[in-house]
Amino acid sequence: MLKYWYLLIDMLRVEVAGPHIRLVYASGGKEVEAIGTRFDVPSLLGLFVAQMAREGIGVDEICKALREAVEKIGG
């Protein structure tokens, strides 16, 4: 069963399909995607933050997206 959560904070999308989680963030023409499992959420979130930083997304935006993603994932 595939569940979608669409958040209005700078286009963050959290998709959960069974044990897999996909985080997609789009802002200012840049898109970041991280895919992982529910069993290793810390690694998934670390990858998500690293990719956002690499794309030059601001710290405030990263913190907001990370906070919302954690709330929706259930961490």
CATH number for the domain that contains residue 39: 3.30.1120
- Which residue did the predictor score with more confidence, 16 or 4? 16
**What confidence category does residue 11 fall into, taking pLDDT thresholds of 50, 70 and 90?**
confident
Structural domain harbouring 38: 2-73
Output DSSP code: residue 61.
H
pLDDT in tens, 14-25: 998 999 999 999
pLDDT in tens, 33-60: 999 999 999 999 999 999 999 999 999 9
Residue 74: the pLDDT is 80
Q: For the chain, how many structural domains are there in total?
A: 1
Q: Is the pTM of this model over 0.85?
A: no
Residues 6+ apart with CB under 8 A from 60: none
Q: Are 24 and 13 in contact (CB under 8 A)?
A: yes
